[in-house]
Amino acid sequence: MPADDRLCLALDMSGRDEILALVDELKEHVGWFKVNSAFTLHGPDLVREILARDVKVFLDLKLHDIPNTLAGYARAVTRLGVHLVTLHTAGGIEMMRTAAASADAQAAELGTARPKLVGVTLLTSVDQQVLNDELNVPGSVEDELRSRAALAAKAGLDGMVCAPPEIPLVRGVVPDDFFFVTPGARSPGQSDDDHRRTGTHAEAVAAGSSLLVVGRRILDAPDRVAAALEVTAEMS
**Binding site for substrate: what residues are annotated?**
12, 34, 124, 186, 215-216
Using a 10 angstrom Cβ sphere, with 0-12 exposed, 13-18 middle and 19 or more buried, the burial of residue 187 is middle
Q: Give the active site residue among 5, 27, 65, 104.
A: 65
> What are the distances in angstroms from CA 140 to CA 116, 119, 133, 144?
28, 19, 12, 6
Q: Give the active site residue among 62, 116, 143, 194.
A: 62
Our answer to whether residue 27 is catalytic in this structure is no
Q: Whole-angstrom Cα distance, residue 69 to residue 46? A: 23
Our answer to whether residue 104 is catalytic in this structure is no
Using a 10 angstrom Cβ sphere, with 0-12 exposed, 13-18 middle and 19 or more buried, the burial of residue 68 is exposed
Phi, psi torsion values for 83, nearest 5 degrees? -100, -20
Contacts of 71 (CB under 8 A, 6+ apart): 98, 99, 101, 102
Point out the annotated binding site.
12, 34, 124, 186, 215-216
Q: Give the active site residue among 56, 60, 116, 158.
A: 60
Count of beta carbons in the 10 Å neighbourhood of residue 56: 19
Our answer to whether residue 62 is catalytic in this structure is yes
Handedness of CA 175, 169, 218, 195 (dihedral sign): positive
Task: List the catalytic residues.
Answer: 60, 62, 65
